[in-house]
Amino acid sequence: TRAWRGLIEEYRDRLPVTTATPVVTLLEGGTPLVPAHRVSALTGCEVYLKVEGLNPTGSFKDRGMTMAISKAVEEGAKAVICASTGNTSASAAAYAVRAGLTCAVLVPRGKIAMGKLAQALVHGAKLLQVEGSFDDCLEMTRELSENYPIALVNSVNPFRLQGQKTAAFEIVDALGDAPDIHCIPVGNAGNISAYWMGYTEYAGDGVATRTPRMFGFQASGAAPIVNGAPVTHPHTIATAIRIGNPASWQLAEAARDESGGVIQSVTDRQIAAAYKLLAQEEGVFVELASAASVAGLLQAHEQGLVDPGQRIVCTVTGNGLKDPDWAISGAPTPLTISIDAHAAATALDLV
């Protein structure tokens, strides 16, 4: 056994890098695949959580960012830009520091979780809050990167998906083969597309004997792919996936159709319930958007789409600490007591 070297070194032969590529890494990837006992019991399946919140900046975005930033440096970029619901900006800001690049970020004002805002600011990104949606921000960053010397590191940058596909490799490497079903939240739709690339690549090369059915889940107030039309004013408590016109829409539909999967919507109520279940019954603290994968699995199980005994992986995309406001708002206010062990014993129902 040896130390994890970051996903570019671990999967170098499967990524578009050469010896000339300067590897910008925070040793991302290699995240745990945690057995989910409670979700398994509820579904009669063998369910695992791919805990992407344990990446260096607390989300799966680091997988794409190590690739996008490394390639940007290789191509001589001095500055990078992204639109974000928060996690991409946190990741871009950190990897830009690592590479000595300037980082600009456009976010929808008032719609990103506090921890993510803190990350972009502490890493010194130039952050602009736009009075609009994520989709407006993405449109602006595309225009800016076309007209000014600044490289776009959103998932429309193909190197992002290349990095993100490694999560599928890790799952097959850990389980010995692909799962039956893979559940994943869908926002801008890059990640579901990247996983499908990874699974098909491994199956094509005989590393896996099969590919999973891809089950993608959007929030019901931000479900353009499910509705079959862009959503002009997307709304959901899961701000990370509050997206009305996903950039990788076609790729996500291809992943769904080629894999024999589904893309469905789950309500904010279902997302909040899955968030709580993961925190209180699995011991895994994820952010709201991440819980959409588990909310979706439970829904698909209810609908009879899931055969008993199947092996299922749910990607939980981001760390719960990203959004302390939501976590605290749903919890009881802690009692305050004096320095008195007996008072503590009473308050704790020990007496």
Question: Which tokens sit at 346?
Answer: 């009473």
Among 59, 145, 157, 162, binds ligand F0G (CB under 6 A): 59
The least CB distance from residue 288 to ligand F0G, in Å, is: 8
Q: Which is nearer to ligand F0G, 19 or 63 (CB)?
A: 63
Q: Which of 31, 43, 66, 88 binds ligand F0G (CB under 6 A)?
A: 88
Q: Beta-carbon neighbour count of residue 133 at 10 Å?
A: 24
Instruction: State the minimum distance, in angstroms, from the CB of residue 344 to ligand F0G.
Output: 37
Q: Which is nearer to ligand F0G, 258 or 340 (CB)?
A: 258
- When asked if residue 84 is in the footprint of ligand F0G (CB under 6 A), the reply is yes
Q: Is 297 in the site for ligand F0G (CB under 6 A)?
A: no
Cα(278)–Cα(205) distance, integer angstroms: 35
List 278, 318, 323, 326, residue binding ligand F0G (CB under 6 A): 318
Residues numbered 163-222 forming contacts with ligand F0G, rule: CB under 6 A:
185-191
The least CB distance from residue 139 to ligand F0G, in Å, is: 14
SS (H, E, C) the chain: CCCCCCHHHHCHHHCCCCCCCCCCCCCCCCCCEEECHHHHHHHCCEEEEEEHHHCCCCECHHHHHHHHHHHHHHCCCCEEEEECCCHHHHHHHHHHHHHCCEEEEEEECCCCCHHHHHHHHHCCCEEEEECCCHHHHHHHHHHHHHHCCCEECCCCCHHHHHHHCHHHHHHHHHHCCCCCEEEEECCCCHHHHHHHHHHHHHHHCCCCCCCCEEEEEEEHHHCHHHHCCCCCCCCCCCHHHCCCCCCCHHHHHHHHHHHCCEEEEECHHHHHHHHHHHHHHHCCCECHHHHHHHHHHHHHHHCCCCCCCCEEEEEECEEHHHCHHHHHHCCCCCCCCCCCHHHHHHHCCCC
Would you count residue 240 as binding ligand F0G (CB under 6 A)? yes
Does 86 contact ligand F0G by CB under 6 A? yes
Residues in region 92-151 near ligand F0G by CB under 6 A: none
Residue number, 115 or 190, with CB nearest to ligand F0G: 190
Q: Nearest distance from residue 181's CB to ligand F0G, in Å?
A: 18
43, 57, 236, 290: which one binds ligand F0G (CB under 6 A):
290
Output the smallest distance, CB 125 to ligand F0G, in A. Answer: 13
Residue 45 found at the interface with ligand F0G (CB under 6 A):
no
The CA distance from 293 to 161, in Å, is 19
**Which lies closer to ligand F0G via its Cβ, residue 47 or residue 241?**
241
Query: What is the sign, positive or negative, of the torsion defined by CA atoms of 289, 199, 151, 95?
Result: positive
Q: How far is the CB of 61 from ligand F0G (least distance, A)?
A: 6
Q: Is 162 in the site for ligand F0G (CB under 6 A)?
A: no
Q: How far is the CB of 98 from ligand F0G (least distance, A)?
A: 18
Q: How many residues bind ligand F0G (CB under 6 A)?
A: 22
Tokens matching residue 58: 């607390």
Shortest distance (Å) from residue 129 CB to ligand F0G: 14
Per CB under 6 A, 277 contacts ligand F0G:
no
Chain residues binding ligand F0G by CB under 6 A are 59, 61, 84-88, 155, 185-191, 240-241, 287, 289-290, 317-318
